Copies of this chain bind each other. A is one copy, B any other.
Amino acid sequence: MSEIATGGAAETQGAARRGRGAGGAAARRQSRTGQRPVSLPFVTRQLPPTDILSAEAVEIIEANADMLMEEVGVEYRDDAEALQLWKEAGADVKGERVHFPKGLCRELMKTAPSQFVQHARNPARNVTIGGRHTVFAPVYGPPFVRDLEGKRRYATIEDFRNFVKLAYMAPAIHHSGGTVCEPVDIAVNKRHLDMVLAHMTLSDKPFMGSVTAPERAEDTVAMARVLFGEEFVDANCVITSLINCNSPLVMDATMLGALKVYAKANQATVVSPFIVGGAMSPVTVAGTLAQVLCEATSAIALTQLCRKGAPVIFGTFATAISMQSGAPSFGTPEPAQVLLGAAQFARRYNLPFRSGGSLTGAKLPDAQAAYESANTLWPAMAAGVNFMLHAAGWLEGGLVSSYEKFIMDADQLAAAQKMAAGIDMSENGQAMSAIREVGPGSHYLGCTHTRENFQTAFHVSNVADNNSFEQWELEGGKRTEERANTIARQWLEQYEPPPLDPGMAEALRDFVQQKKDSMPDAFT
- Do A323 and B458 touch (CB < 8 A)? yes
Q: How far is the CB of A478 from chain B (nearest CB, A)?
A: 9
A511 at interface, CB cutoff 8 A? no
Q: A53's contact among B68, B280, B379, B423, by CB below 8 Å, is which? A: B423
Q: A435 and B72: CB pair below 8 A?
A: yes
In whole angstroms, what is the CA distance A277 to B454 when docked?
A: 10
Is A415 in the interface zone, CB < 8 Å from B? yes
Q: What is the bound-complex CA distance between A291 and B458, given in angstroms?
A: 18
Is A350 located at the chain interface by the 8 A CB criterion?
no
- Chain B residues whose C-beta falls within 8 Å of the C-beta of A54 in the assembled complex: 425
The 7 closest A-B CB pairs, nearest first, are A287-B431, A374-B374, A370-B370, A282-B431, A249-B440, A333-B419, A283-B457
Known: A443-B279, A450-B282, A480-B366. A432 touches B287 (CB 8 A): yes
Q: A402-433 vs B: 1/0 string, CB under 8 Å?
A: 00000010001001101100111100111110
> Do the beta carbons of B422 and A52 come within 8 Å of each other?
yes
Q: Is A334 an interface residue (CB 8 A)?
A: yes
Option from B327, B331, B458, B471 in Cβ contact (under 8 Å) with A332: B458
A20 lies within 8 A of chain B by Cβ: no
Binding site for B on A (CB under 8 A): 1, 47-48, 50-54, 56-57, 60-61, 64, 67-68, 71-75, 97, 152, 246, 248-250, 277-288, 290-291, 320-325, 327-329, 331-334, 336-337, 341, 361-375, 378-379, 382, 396, 399, 408, 412, 415-416, 418-419, 422-425, 428-432, 434-436, 438-445, 449-450, 453-455, 457-461, 463-469, 471-473, 477, 479-481
A sample of 10 cross-chain residue pairs with beta-carbon separation below 8 angstroms, ordered by A number, consists of: A47-B52, A278-B457, A279-B443, A280-B444, A282-B444, A286-B423, A329-B461, A363-B469, A366-B366, A366-B367
Neighbouring B residues of A423 by C-beta, 8 Å: 52-53, 57, 285-286, 337, 341
B75–A432 CB distance below 8 A: no
Contacting pair B74 A440 (CB below 8 A): yes
Would you call A323 and B465 a contact (CB within 8 A)?
A: no
